[in-house]
Amino acid sequence: MLVGIDMIEIERIKRCSAKPRFMERVFSEKELALFLSKKNPTESMAGNWAAKEAFSKAVGTGVRDFSLCEISILRDKLGAPYIELEGKAKELADRLGLDFSVSITHTHELASAVVIAFKRKE
C-alpha cells in the first residue's frame, strides 16, 4: 500500500482559477462540468487539486510523465470522491497494477486530500 497526501490554500486556487489556461491544464472536462454544479466550486477545485497532487505522491513519481488533466477526481451519487484516469496517468497505474482510494476534506481556508494506492487483486 502506498499513500500520498496534499494540502492547498483555497484562496490560491481561487486566484489561479481566474486563468483559463490554468483550468484547462489542470482539470478534465468532467471535472469542469462537476464544478459548474457546485454551490462553492472553488472548494471542490482545491480539493481536486490536492487529490491530484496526492495521487502523484502515492505513485511515487510526482507530476511527471502525465498531465494533471488526465486525472479526474469525480463524485459518486452519494458525493464520495473517486479517481478516474486516462492517457499516460492510466498507463502508469496499469503498469504498476494499482487501484486508488481518495478522501478529500476542507475548511474555509484549506483543502486536503489523501490517496491510497493498492495492488489490484488478480
Which of 53, 50, 114 is CA-nearest to residue 89? 53
* Per-position b or e across 52-72, b if 16+ CB within 10 A of its CB: bbbbbbbbeeeeeebebbbbb
Distance in angstroms (rounded) separating the CA atoms of residues 115 and 122: 21
Q: Is 106 marked active-site?
A: yes
In whole angstroms, what is the distance from residue 75 CA to residue 100 CA? 14
93 by DSSP, 3-state: which?
helix
52 is catalytic: no
The residue annotated as part of the active site, out of 57, 88, 119, 121, is: 57
Q: How far apart are CA 15 and CA 67, in angstroms?
A: 21
Of the residues 14, 38, 39, 106, only one is catalytic, namely 106
Catalytic residue numbers?
57, 106
